[in-house]
Amino acid sequence: MAKPLYLAFVWNQHQPFYQDTAKKEYIMPWVRLHATKDYYQMAAILKDYPTVRQTFNLTPSLLEQLDDYLGDARDYYLKVMKPVSQLGREDKRFLLQHYFDIHWERVIDRWPRYSKLLTMQGRCREPQSVDAAVDKFSDQDFLDLQVWFNLAWIDPEYRVKDAQLAGLQQKGENFSEEDKQLVLFKQWEIIRQVVPIHREMASHGQIELITTPYYHPIIPLLIDTRSALRASPGLRLPETFSYPEDAAEQTVKAINQYRRFFNDWPRGIWPPEQAVSPETVSFFAEQGFKWTIADEDILARSLHREIYRDGFGHVLNADDLYRPYRVLVNNSEINMIFRDHHLSDRIGFVYHQMPVDHAVDDLIHRFHKIRESVIHCHGPHLVTIAMDGENAWEWYHGDKTEFLHRTYRRIAQDPLLRAVTVSEFLEEYPPARELTELHTGSWVDHSLTRWIGSDSKNRLWQMLLNTRQMLEDVRGSVPPGRFLAAKENLLIAEGSDYTWWVDSMPYYLAAPFEALFRKHLVNVYREVNRTPPSYLEDPVIKPHHGESVWVDDPLAGPTAMVQANNQNTEAGSC
């Protein structure tokens, strides 16, 4: 029998920690909304294909927020879900600015009433532009908008299978307050199922669950910010931040949370943003992890040779890329897999532009081209598709439904393709090759410059360092409970998402993250009864030419995060 090709789909399900811990409010709704559209359904869809196995990374910051929503947590977007008779003018402005935060062409324009409401709003994104539209909307218009936004953020296949949601979808307009409450009830019903379905499917072996350091920090930079110089010599850096103990605390917290949720130990760990270094993977090995993952560019630079592709994107030295490696660095050992960057990006950014049958044909064809290229090479081969499991789908017609069903059906029916969990492959086929060097970098340009090195990113790191040093100065002089609360805010601020947005994305998208970062640091000082430095009150970033300034504090209300005509969010978190 011909040698099969093994496939590892590794879905990274992550959201940054959106809570303003002083107010106990979430400034953005993406945990709730992606839970109802993506996190449950990405696992549930596999029940139709029991031979298709996959790996999911549920990040601790995501799980904590999901758990919080099942308590009494609420986000700003829910504040305007009050009865329409109680909506004030600012509530209405908020609805018109934010309740179209989903793909306009792929989602809103599929539904005549929702599309009409967007046209009435003026199809505009700037906050000041919606003022003129407020008086055009009747109470019924606002009620229909409240229902459609929350309904559209529920997975379309789930909506069709649920008779009550299907009924609302068919009704389409003239919704009632009871209809609105039904949609919210259904959202919480789905959120309650997210962890249980992953736990159930993991217990059956169809999926493997892994974890990530708790608040998604860039571990090489926590260990030592100077590690960024390895990939980028001459990069301007702030004063050195080096707290490997924080990397340890973030990781141990993640392990403990995993054990609480899943009553087991995680075997694999996803480095936030696939950012690795010799010190990072050595540390992961010391914590008991059996495997980790990085991008193909990291492998290429560790091997000191390129991953070569032809004009169609097919890998010419496939035997190098499509296999696991045993990494031996710093007197430690850990297994590593390396994702196919090109294939992962085709799912994330290319296939939504193609008819779905053509897209699936292309993906399956590429799998077989890989299989043919390694058929005479020693050992089984593993193709790793690794990407976030939420951001791509609203760019597809009908979201993920058709593409994933067709893809999984083709894989399940193909005797030459086998979708496996990472651990089951490694247990059956331990790595036959070793790496004694490991490049320091991430999936973004095989470097760490997405998170450090620009003026504003460096200022954030300097603020973080100043706050971290202050905590050391007060250690032992404040009550333990207050110190731990302060440290928690600092750990949150170490998350990668704040520096990800600053100086890398448009001002209006980055401003809320930068403001929340400063707020977390302010909370550190207040928890230990110290006066926050005045610079923490001043925005670090300013609008560029043509961008509107935030008139109010960005934390007073979030910006739109979904852009209909620009797909440059890469692996971002909204």
Domain map of the chain by residue range? Answer: 70-189, 455-556
Residue 1: its pLDDT value, please?
Answer: 65
> How far is residue 12's CA from residue 500's CA, in Å, rounded to a whole number?
17
Three-state secondary structure string covering 286-337: HCCCCEEEEEHHHHHHHHCCCCCECCCCCECCHHHHCCCEEEEECCEEEEEE
For the segment 188-232, what is each residue's pLDDT rounded down to a tens digit?
999 999 999 999 999 999 999 999 999 999 999 999 999 999 999
Q: Are strands 433-435 and 207-210 parallel, antiparallel or unpaired?
A: unpaired
- Can you tell me the mean pLDDT for 377-393? 96
Q: pLDDT tens, 443-464?
A: 999 999 999 999 999 999 999 9
* CA pair distance 192, 209, nearest whole angstrom: 18
Query: Which pLDDT belongs to residue 568?
Result: 37
Pairing state between β 325-329 and 332-339: antiparallel
Q: pLDDT tens, 309-365?
A: 999 999 999 999 999 999 999 999 999 999 999 999 999 999 999 999 999 999 999
What's the pLDDT band for 546 if we cut at 50, 70, 90? confident
Q: For residues 512 and 558, is the Cβ–Cβ distance under 8 A?
A: yes
Q: Tokens representing 335?
A: 């297994």
Could you tell me which of 256, 253, 250 has the C-alpha nearest to residue 222? 250
Angle 139-152/112-121 helices, nearest 10 degrees? 120
Question: Residues 434-447, buried b or exposed e (16+ Cβ, 10 A)?
Answer: ebeebbbbbbbebb
> What's the confidence (pLDDT) of residue 553?
63
Query: For the chain, give me the number of helices (H) and strands (E)?
Result: 24, 12
Q: What is the spatial distance between Cα 524 and Cα 534, in angstroms, rounded to a whole number?
A: 14
pLDDT tens, position by position, 230-262: 999 999 999 999 999 999 999 999 999 999 999
- CA-to-CA distance for 447 and 451, rounded, in angstroms? 9
Asked if residue 217 lies in contact with residue 275, where contact means CB atoms within 8 angstroms, the answer is no
Q: Tell me, what's the pLDDT at 545?
A: 78
- Residues linked to residue 58 through DSSP beta bridges, in sequence order: 13
- Give the count of beta carbons closer than 10 Å to the beta carbon of residue 157: 18
Summarised one tens digit per residue, pLDDT across range 407-420 is 999 999 999 999 99
Q: pLDDT band at residue 20, thresholds of 50, 70 and 90? A: confident
Q: Are 44 and 455 contacting, i.e. CB atoms less than 8 angstroms apart?
A: no
**Cβ-based neighbours of 161, under 8 Å, separated by 6 or more:** none
> Widest CA span of the chain, in angstroms?
71
pLDDT of 559 above 60? no
CA–CA gap between residue 389 and residue 392 (Å, rounded)? 7
Residue with tokens 């908020």: 94
Computed over every residue of the chain, the mean pLDDT equals: 94
Alpha-carbon gap, residue 206 to 86, rounded angstroms: 48
d(CA 172, CA 154): 15
Residue 543 pLDDT class (50, 70, 90 cuts): confident
For residue 57, pLDDT beyond 80: yes
Question: Mind giving me the DSSP string for 217-281?
Answer: B-HHHHH-GGGGGTTSTT----SPP--HHHHHHHHHHHHHHHHHHHSS--SEE--GGG-B-HHHH
d(CA 203, CA 200): 5
Q: What pLDDT, on a 0 to 100 scale, did the predictor assign at position 572?
A: 34
Angle subtended by helix axes 163-171 and 139-152, to nearest 10: 140
Helix (H) or strand (E) holding 12: strand 5-13
| Band of pLDDT at residue 24, cut at 50, 70 and 90 | confident
Single out the residue of 539, 534, 528 nearest to residue 469, CA to CA: 528
- State residue 561's pLDDT score: 45
pLDDT digit string (tens) for 117-127?
Answer: 999 999 987 76
Q: Which tokens is 423 given?
A: 């651990």
The answer, as to whether pTM is greater than 0.85, is: yes
